[in-house]
Amino acid sequence: MIFDMLKQNNCNELHIRYDIDSGCTFVVALNTIYHNKGNGGTRMKNYSSVGEGIEDALKLANAMTKKCVVIGEEDNGGYSGAKGVIIGDPAIQKTPKMLRNYGRFVQSLNGRFQTGCDMNISPSDLEYMAERTQYVDGLPSTGLGDGGAATAYGIIVAMKILCEQRYGTDRLKDRLIAVQGVGSVGSALIRRLSDEGAEIIVTDVDSDRLKSVADRYNVEVVSSEKIYSVKCDIFSPNACGDILTAENIEKLNCDIVIGAANNPLAEGLRSVSQMQKRGIVFAPDYVVNIGAQVLAICEVEGKSFDYANNKIKGIIQRRLQQISLQNETMYEAAEKIVHQEMLRN
């Protein structure tokens, strides 16, 4: 079963370590076929089982590989995809000692895994990891900044391109946008949308975080269930994956789906086809949410923040134009590009 999951997700390495001190399980999934080193953030989550955590790591590593392919040989720094997962409860098991132990685990891979922030891992957490490994990016003291903000910037770039295609103008002012998830990416996206003059509806399972964002930006708040059915121009998923189920797609009342969540499609092309039949355009996640990946690679290469932002904008513009010109969905066109470019290596 493990080997089947590896193959399905374009991964050829899976590293697992049980941390006796914390009771957490550390997982790193790697694709070292496309290139011999992988780049991807680390998340911490209280999965229902170790198997669920491993499956998530593999799926996310596959998404990271696709992003590296989309970024392209000239700009991906020779990286392929990877993902780190810490299986444990961040509320009680995330300690400085555990994070240092995880850093030691990353170091044991001898540079084949470069990591940074993801769900429930903050820049300050990275400082503890960095005490034991040199293969961490996004540090508060020396890094280029928040990967979530870089991803949000890329989503804004992509939204403007798709609005131009759909409505004949790239203006986001007065566009109604439903944002699911107000974590590091979602909150940065809301800030940018607010600056653009968009009307915003938000939701999140974390009520405290949701209230903080709602108070700061004066946005409308709806329940996690209602976010799918609100009438809007754009639905933007920025939380967990697999949320675009057949049931939820039937609820959608929007023109465009574009967001930063990795692997939002519950059934791949079938989910895209279901949206297409309803006149909804889906922007492939791994084409538009490359911001943090580009920022991390630029940081490792010693590039500037402005250089990274210019790269994010240029790559997304080029790739969206490329896949929009095909006589098929953008998802199908993007999948073909990834497959063809991976075969060349």
**Active-site option among 37, 45, 66, 83:** 83
What whole-number distance in Å separates Cα of residue 111 and Cα of residue 200? 41
pLDDT per position as a tens digit, 70-103: 999 999 999 999 999 999 999 999 999 999 999 9
pTM (2 decimals)?
0.94
283 pLDDT above the threshold of 80: yes
Residue 1 has pLDDT above 80, yes or no: no
Question: Which domains are seen in the chain, by residue range?
Answer: 2-66+77-130 (3.40.50.10860), 147-290+319-339 (3.40.50.720)
Q: What pLDDT, on a 0 to 100 scale, did the predictor assign at position 342?
A: 87
- Please report the pLDDT score of residue 202 as a whole number: 97
336 is catalytic: no
